[in-house]
Structure 1
Amino acid sequence: MEMSGRTALVTGATAGIGRAVAVLPAREGAEVVVHGRDAERGAAVVGEIQDAGGTARFVQADLVDPEDVRHPADAVGDADVLVNNAGIYEFRPTGGMSVDLFDLHMDLNTKAPYLLVRAPAPGMVERGRGSVVNISTLAVAVTTAGTGMYAASKAALEQLTRVWAAEYAEGGVRVNAVAPGPIRTPGTDAMDPATVRAIADTTAMRRIAEPEEVAEAVVFLASDRASYVTGALLEVAGGRRAIGG
């Protein structure tokens, strides 16, 4: 129960990595504010946490709208932990991007975390403690066709992670990022097994990750176990294969 008495806001917490991240701090005693756009899915995550003896509540907001971004921050009040997980990804070549789609990636993957960090950070500094974990992607480090706008928005988030770590360290606030590789999702479950196997074979471990494996890394960085870790980027990607391997 190492997170007992703390409040954690997890964005995009109604499915996938976000759902897994929301469940773990609750098991460690934190009150979890589950953010999402779908109230029904949000209620399901809150119910799962409560059925396991944890404390959680749901807040609905569209993080593309700067005004709506204020709702999760207002709902959580004095947050001790913020996990910026909500995001969008569409893989298209540069010629296939639209200006609106590019803006959507930047608004949700970069601007929303910026606004969300800016809201609770002063309170964290005043209390002398706090932790922010941003969810990035391996696509920033590994050049992949069609990921330009997605990778660019997450590269900006990684740079903000380093800047925030430097800005807030003296106030007792740590800021880190996690970069997942291929993850099991409803989308991968619907894929042809051969396609999933091909994706898995791009990793040294030759498999894709479960959302819970990424969540463990996120919660570690958010907890006091990582008390001397800030400005770090932790890849949770199954390792990289050697050239010719």
Structure 2
Amino acid sequence: MDYDALAKLLPPHVGMLFTDTIHHTLDPAIDPANAALPDGYTVLVIGAGGGIGEYIAKAFVKAKASNVIITGRSPENLARVKGELEEMASRRGSTVHVSTEPGDASREETYPKLKQLLQDRYGGRLDCTVCCAGNITSINEFAPLPDFPCENFLQTMHINLFGPFYAARHLLPLMLQPPSTGKLFINIVSIAAHLTGLSPISYNIAKLAQTRLSQQLGETYADQGLVVIAMHPGSTRTPGTKVLLPAAVYDGKALLSVRFGFAGSRCAGSVGR
């Protein structure tokens, strides 16, 4: 089944046919290389040890961000991404200061550590926060409710909803005061926020709540200049979609046709326009 066929099966509010043109690859209009980031621009990408988060960090390097902080559970993955970010900047004739902070994005104690790192190394500057950490714990989450693993439900809620809440709670005080200037908070959400059936109940609820959290934050802090975006990354091959979809669909090119870098381009390429 390709994108258009699936879109016709789903209700209009899902938004798969909201526009006449559907982009699956980078458009020059949002190419991060054309972004005009101010000097000292500092971005934090939570969940950047691989997948979409890694490529969001790379997009900000392409946009010549001065400082990029990346988090994830695996120190080894973070070290790899850090090296690639620095090499990428060097090839482009620019420099970037990359910091890594291993940690579990689902646990609140991770975020005071990030705040302290930002204060110690960057003078408290944080222009953009991207919450990209997320997961679906296992295919068992499709089980009938009497058999549904409660611990899986809690894990999914903690990483997809509580994590962004903790990030906002601890990091917004830095973002809303000098020397920070960007005031951009991005939650990577999902089409699961708008439908049922294609993904487990815990993930659907968590992403719906994360989307509403984005709205609430944006409305609450709009008078202080904060811009909050709930961004759907597109139909991308990730560990989560590999859990959800049959192998023939996951390995095919028709449905999961969006490149990893697309979400990053939309994050970084829209700054400063």
Q: TM-score, normalised by structure 2?
A: 0.72
SS at match of 1:180: coil
| 2:192–2:199 contact (8 Å) kept in structure 1 | no
Give 1:152's match in structure 2, choosing from 182, 185, 205.
205
Give 2:152's match in structure 1, choosing from 89, 95, 101.
101
Give the residue type in structure 1 aligned to 2:85: I
C-alpha displacement at 1:26, in angstroms? 1.6
* Equivalence map 1:68-217=2 (5 Å): 68-77=110-119, 78-90=125-137, 91=139, 92-93=141-142, 94-95=144-145, 96-127=147-178, 129-185=182-238, 194-196=248-250, 200-201=254-255, 207-217=256-266
Give 2:70's match in structure 1, choosing from 34, 38, 41.
34
Give the residue type in structure 2 aligned to 1:23: K
Give the residue type in structure 1 aligned to 2:118: V
1:129-160 deviations in Å (ceiling 9; x for gaps): 41000010111113224421011111111001
| 1:61–1:71 contact (8 Å) kept in structure 2 | no
Q: 1:139/1:181 Cα in 2 relative to 1: closer, same or farther (>3 Å)?
A: farther
SS at match of 1:43: helix
| 2:128–2:183 contact (8 Å) kept in structure 1 | yes
SS at match of 1:108: helix
C-alpha displacement at 1:52, in angstroms? 1.9
* Residue number in structure 2 paired with 1:219: 268
Is the deviation greater in 71-80 or in 98-107? 71-80
Q: Percent identity at matched positions?
A: 25
Give 1:2's match in structure 2, choosing from 17, 26, 36.
36
Q: 1:50/1:164 Cα in 2 relative to 1: closer, same or farther (>3 Å)?
A: same
SS at match of 2:110: coil
* Residue number in structure 2 paired with 1:22: 57
C-alpha displacement at 1:84, in angstroms? 0.3
Give the residue type in structure 2 aligned to 1:50: E
Q: 1:141/1:198 Cα in 2 relative to 1: closer, same or farther (>3 Å)?
A: farther
Q: Structure 1: give runs of 5+ residues left out of the alignment.
A: 202-206, 226-245
Q: Structure 2: give runs of 5+ residues left out of the alignment.
A: 1-34, 90-95, 120-124
Give the distance between the partners of 1:144 and 1:218, measured in 2 at CA.
Answer: 28
Figure out how many residues of one structure are paired with residues of the other and give that number. Answer: 219
Q: 1:116/1:187 Cα in 2 relative to 1: closer, same or farther (>3 Å)?
A: closer
| 1:182–1:200 contact (8 Å) kept in structure 2 | no
* Residue number in structure 2 paired with 1:204: none
Give the residue type in structure 2 aligned to 1:224: G
| 1:10–1:34 contact (8 Å) kept in structure 2 | yes
Q: TM-score, normalised by structure 1?
A: 0.80
**What's the C-alpha RMSD, in Å, of the aligned pairs?**
2.5
Q: 1:187/1:172 Cα in 2 relative to 1: closer, same or farther (>3 Å)?
A: closer
1:142-197 deviations in Å (ceiling 9; x for gaps): 32244210111111110010000011111111101111342123677899873236
Higher strand proportion (structure 1 or 2): 1
Q: Once superposed, which parts of structure 1, at least 4 consecutive aligned residues long, lie more than 6 Å away?
A: 186-193
